[in-house]
Structure 1
């Protein structure tokens, strides 16, 4: 009897989302003093829904490996690439390499896309109420970019909290959308300059005044940002079941 294994007896192939894929760095650009945009060419590009993330793995010459998860900033765009926006952290093995050393032509590995409930596409509908703290803007930026591609008629509002304008990711793009897209509103709050202050009931009210009752709510940021922001939104009358959150850090 042959010892060969037939196709029907073979173990099922590992789902693509769990496999590591080689990716090539094709662009690196500083977008704030502490954040860089990194664009990667990879086989999984274009498979993501706006809001999802990928795992990134680096392998050193001695075989040591480190991996971290990063939200994808770009919606499917047909380029065969995806964009990450990576904050350089002083103790970050992966982020530190991307921020200080990554160059065009370097190769890393990606796995994903990952995340189902924290994602959005045009057929999911709206209106959209989005709230971000600091680098939590990245997955929400992907949603806004996707909306502009496929469903610009859906009302959307973004409440964005940052320490200073200089630290706001993609602020030029967001302010341009606020001016030019009829159905989009940006409510920016800076906590360490100007008179904006932290997100409060007035910020939520200003956003809801433009969107009306939201059909989808996404909040992303640190633990200490997400919980009080979700409480404010629910206190404004938004059903808790509509709220989707993604948290990181403290």
Structure 2
């Protein structure tokens, strides 16, 4: 799908829940939903879906969730983090089961997409890793994992969605509230990524240094996105190649 034009639709359709996998700890409960979407339009990594719930009295509530699946996956995978008092996330996490039918709209978004045609750097925090996971899976299917350099930040290992998959794909993982045991037996002390560490990731044959990066993606909370965009700028990544997607606390 490298070089494919962005797919985008605003029409509502239905999606049947095929799998609902609860995970995370008490501080970050979440559910991975695998959906069979009717009349599905193929997505690009970085796009999202809107999920709408409808009550018997026709009251509706809706929220947007990034796609984690590769475009070639026959199912659409969404990661939903349960928010306190969240109408949509609470229902999807606590109630949704295989066989349930949801109203969905998507895929949506064109700015924060990656089609595999250029090397890219991704810096994501917490549940902001979800669209990056789609990019990682897409790169793996293309046989070009070298196209992506990924940096992810979370409070703890349990709080990081897709932690094992990201580590196995070669992502640089930093935790802020617990030390991280690395595969080589060493320990990464709890702290956000340092400038030198990220600089070393960008000083790579695929990029030729920070000033040669052609596309960079930042995704996470408002505070994290500001930190990550500033970090990339201080390292010499051009502002015009950085694409930022940030989110607040909604349910």
| Range into which the TM-score falls when normalised by the shorter chain | 0.7 to 0.9
Deviation at 1:17, TM superposition (A): 1.5
How well do the aligned residues superpose, as a CA RMSD in angstroms? 1.8
Counterpart among 122, 127, 135 of residue 130 in structure 1:
122
Contact kept, 8 Å, 2:10 with 2:108, in 1: the verdict is no
Cα distance in 2 for residues equivalent to 1:46 and 1:130: 25
Contact kept, 8 Å, 1:46 with 1:78, in 2: the verdict is no
Pick the structure with greater CA Rg.
1
Counterpart among 29, 32, 44 of residue 24 in structure 2:
32
Deviation at 1:51, TM superposition (A): 0.4
3-state SS of paired residue (2:97)? coil
The worse-fitting range, judged by mean Cα deviation, of 133-142 and 144-153 is: 144-153
Cα distance in 2 for residues equivalent to 1:22 and 1:52: 18
Cα deviations by residue, 1:37-75 (Å, 9 ceiling, x for unpaired): 001111354511000001110111221111000001012
Q: 1:178-197 alignment to 2 at 5 Å?
A: 178=170, 186-194=171-179, 195-197=189-191
Counterpart for residue 139 of structure 1: 131
TM-aligned CA distance change 1:153 to 1:137, over 3 Å: closer
* Structure 2 residue 242 is the aligned partner of structure 1 residue 243: yes
Q: 1:26-175 alignment to 2 at 5 Å?
A: 26-33=18-25, 34-45=29-40, 47-79=42-74, 81-122=75-116, 124-126=117-119, 128-152=120-144, 154-175=146-167
Cα distance in 1 for residues equivalent to 2:45 and 2:94: 27
Cα distance in 2 for residues equivalent to 1:16 and 1:239: 28
Equivalent pairs counted in the alignment come to 226
Counterpart among 1, 4, 10 of residue 18 in structure 1:
10
Greater fraction helix? 1
Deviation at 1:151, TM superposition (A): 4.7
The worse-fitting range, judged by mean Cα deviation, of 55-64 and 203-212 is: 203-212
Counterpart for residue 230 of structure 1: 229
Structure 1: stretches of 5+ with no match in the other structure: 1-14, 179-185
Q: Structure 1 length normalisation: TM-score?
A: 0.85
The worse-fitting range, judged by mean Cα deviation, of 36-45 and 239-248 is: 36-45
Q: Structure 2 length normalisation: TM-score?
A: 0.85
